[in-house]
Every structure is written in structure tokens, then in C-alpha cells.
Amino acid sequence: MKSFVQALTGVVFAGCSLVAHADSLQVRSMAASCAGCHGTQGVAQAGMESLAGQPKEDFLKKMQDFKSGKKPATLMHQLSKGYSDEQIDQLASYFAALKK
């Protein structure tokens, strides 16, 4: 019985690390969908805003303002609405950590 419990605990812990891994993979693949316009790793060509290295607070504010329609945009109104507040928070942390 004891070994069964130990085995079970092992499975639960292995499961946790898998979830954490899937999480960061999920954030990276969300961020990859921005790369088409904002550049690989968030560093854009001239004429487009880079996302890399934007302070988290600024990024969050811009995305919320796109969502609410407060910030003028051609494309980002629609795009920003496709992400939950939690996903935007994850993207903000991701891009803030990248080098410009």
C-alpha cells in the first residue's frame, strides 16, 4: 500500500511539472502569433512597434485600451479581443522580459 501511495505521489508531481511546461509553451505560441507583424521575439522592422522590452504596465494598458476601443487602432482592436485578461498578463510578462 505504501509503495502505491508513493507511486501515486510521483505521478502527481510529474503531472505538475508537465503542466508548468505546457504553460510556458502556450505563452510562447501565443507570442509567436504576434511575430508576423511585430517581429521575431518582438523586435519589429522599422515602421512597426516592437513589443520586446516594453514595461509590463505599459503593455497591459495598451492592450486594455485596444480591447475597450480607447486606443485608436486598425487591427489591434480585433486582435486584442481574442485574448483573456490572464493571457494578456502572460504576454506582458513574456515581452517585458525580452531584449529590445
Q: Which residues bind ligand HEC (CB under 6 A)?
A: 30, 33-34, 36-38, 49, 51, 59, 62-63, 73-76, 79, 91
Question: Whats the size of the chain, residue-wise?
Answer: 100
Instruction: Give the position of cell 522592422.
Output: 45
CA distance 80 to 85: 10
Question: CB of residue 88 vs ligand HEC: minimum separation in angstroms?
Answer: 7
Question: CB of residue 68 vs ligand HEC: minimum separation in angstroms?
Answer: 14
Residue with Cβ nearer ligand HEC (17 or 29): 29
Residue with Cβ nearer ligand HEC (15 or 23): 23
Residue with Cβ nearer ligand HEC (15 or 82): 82
The C-alpha torsion from 33 through 38 and 39 to 44, rounded to 10°, is -170
Question: CB of residue 44 vs ligand HEC: minimum separation in angstroms?
Answer: 9
End-to-end CA distance of the chain: 55
